[in-house]
Chains A and B, each alone.
Chain A
């Protein structure tokens, strides 16, 4: 990556990062975000993350981005998984232990229907 030498360089990187995000939304790709702060990891976010990656590999799902983030502020609901399909609103799931992953992935990521009973907010 080239170094940033001026404000314009910084703005260019910012634009590119924003464009990347926008392109993701427009292509209808799926973004899965796992909360990986200390509370998340303590509640089993690593196992959840692994289960998500295993599922994606097993079912050969294309066009999906899995990334991590910090704490969103709902520690008692960890592990928290946020799923965004294309430009649909983001869906936040709480207490997603590894054993819930299969159902959420099947119904939401493959089937396109959010699993309401595990959702935290509407």
Chain B
């Protein structure tokens, strides 16, 4: 290995790249060649060193640990000559605060591990060969030729895999129940009816790596003794449906689905059923009713699907992500899987980060990671340098957690104890401009709308809760509303039949608990602290700041703003609809929100 006396780390963070980090690298290399230092000094690329917005493009020089910032390529010749030839630190390019050199020296800790998403964006999802080249269907071959169904079930049990749909039931145990249930005909179902607003991790798996789900289902079918399976995929994912169908067809052509798979005597086939568009169809009993052609309504459990499921036969139903984990566990062994995660929650989990985080999108992280790591390390912190206020986990039935909860470890039990849920993995990050009453109202509007109407606590209860929340947001809240809300939430939660009703009050309960002062401000002071609820705010123009440029008056949709050019303008409060457009278009920050 070559030895260098000095290393230059250049930040190639996207923002630095945009500001010309590549030019800096080229200039550094050119200059080092010119000074004959190329064998002594090595130029390396690294991720962000400091805030690229303030410092980029920037470099770090080791062993000294000097952080040079805001460089242009024209600075490089002087810098190289001074620092590397003459050995003098160039003060004028140096960062004001000395960066923590120690912290930067350690190897980067990978927060993301890709197990379920390993092939996403790598292989052609419509080409089975591409999947086979990445060890695809090897797990199936191993399972069918070398393992008994009991061995597979015990492998899954040892791995500690739990249902990724949200409830977290141990997958191995579920398979065992279904296997032991009496009956010649058994079914296997994949729940791909991902309906949480803002969650799309299953879509990515289905679209980018459909064979991993198909393979996982065939293995599960062999383990429980099913001969036929269904993938219930929501119709709103047309690309996923198409790719699943192509995948199933290709697997059939290769004999990986159909009669006598791999000459093992095991036969299995699979079809895709398109979801009917209702959120409640993601609930397992409603989902099965929908497959049967009945109206998508949940029923009481027990009997559980493992005993009496599809058409009254024992049925194993798992989520997309659960099945996608299976081939990897068979191939790499349960110990490998169990090495990730916490004591009770093993492996990795995909999450969707939405809302006010810098990086929104899909992540896959080992369970047991803290919320802080998800928000700040993977999510990149809060947009526009604002303050973190709350994070909602688990979709519309999850609770809102505060910054006091940030150091909680993400696993099934911890989140439940904090008053939220793991859910399917949606996470909404909220900054300080979010009104928590408004958020509770938003989620209640969703669940109220999606309630199937079968049982009264959910059908009527969610409606009443929503009415109270709307009243509070409208500035017409009454002091007794908070108690009524609390009681209603308990009733709905306790008496509803399925997960939808039982989970629906969670956003309200958690915000009442963690952000009660905001509710009180709405009711008693008739104020919205986050300045979101329209009935409780007003817009005024600061006459000393207003330049009379007329831009607000021209953009006001209702003509509520009047004033002469170059004279301070005025908003007519009776006409104003509080849309906030004037505040958005004003170039001088002259609009004040009260």
Contacts and interface: CB of A to CB of B under 8 A. Distances in A.
A23 interface: no
Contacts of B122: 69, 72
A105 to B, nearest CB: 20
B259 to A, nearest CB: 10
A41 B137 CA distance: 28
B121 A1 contact: no
10 A-B pairs with least C-beta separation: A70-B208, A72-B121, A3-B255, A17-B133, A17-B129, A7-B141, A37-B207, A75-B361, A116-B22, A122-B12
A6 to B, nearest CB: 6
A120 B14 contact: yes
A83 to B, nearest CB: 14
Given A14-B135, A38-B239, A67-B124, A5 B12 contact: no
Interface of A: 1, 3-7, 10-11, 13-14, 16-18, 20-21, 35-38, 41, 67-76, 80, 116, 119-122
Interface in B116-134: 117, 120-127, 129-130, 132-133
Nearest to A38: B239
Contacts of B300: none
B135 A6 contact: no
Nearest to A1: B253
Contacts of B17: 119-120, 122
Contact of A18 (B121, B133, B207, B237): B133
A10 to B, nearest CB: 5
B129 A76 contact: no
Contacts of A5: 255, 262-263
B361 A73 contact: yes
Contact of A37 (B124, B138, B208, B360): B208
Contacts of A14: 132-133, 135-136, 138
B132 A73 contact: no
A7 B141 CA distance: 6
Contact of B130 (A4, A10, A17): A17
Given A1-B253, A37-B208, A122-B12, A70 B361 contact: no
Interface string B22-60: 100000000000000000000001000000000000000
Given A6-B145, A37-B208, 12 more contacts: A4-B254, A6-B263, A13-B254, A17-B130, A21-B133, A35-B121, A37-B207, A68-B124, A69-B123, A70-B207, A71-B204, A122-B12
Contacts of B138: 7, 10-11, 14
Which has the most chain B C-beta neighbours within 10 Å: A11, A21, A38, A80?
A38
Contacts of A10: 132, 137-138, 141, 262
A69 B237 CA distance: 16
B362 interface: yes
Interface of B: 12, 14, 17, 22, 45, 117, 120-127, 129-130, 132-133, 135-138, 141-142, 145, 200, 203-204, 207-209, 237, 239, 253-256, 262-263, 359-363
Nearest to A8: B141
Contacts of A7: 138, 141-142, 145, 262
Contacts of B126: 68
Nearest to A92: B121
A38 B237 contact: yes
Given A1-B253, A75-B361, A17 B239 contact: no
A9 B45 CA distance: 44
B45 A70 contact: no
Contacts of A69: 121-125, 208
A36 B56 CA distance: 32
A7 B481 CA distance: 66
A71 B45 contact: no
Nearest to B126: A68
B287 to A, nearest CB: 22
6 contacts: A5-B262, A7-B141, A37-B121, A37-B204, A72-B122, A76-B360
Contact of A122 (B45, B125, B200): B45
Contacts of B45: 122
Contact of B204 (A4, A20, A41, A70): A70
A108 B38 CA distance: 27
Nearest to B359: A76
B239 A73 contact: no
A121 B129 CA distance: 28
A45 to B, nearest CB: 11
Which has the most chain B C-beta neighbours within 10 Å: A1, A14, A16?
A14
A86 B154 CA distance: 45
Contacts of B363: 73
A17 B130 CA distance: 7
Nearest to A15: B133
Given A1-B253, A3-B253, A10-B137, A73 B124 contact: no
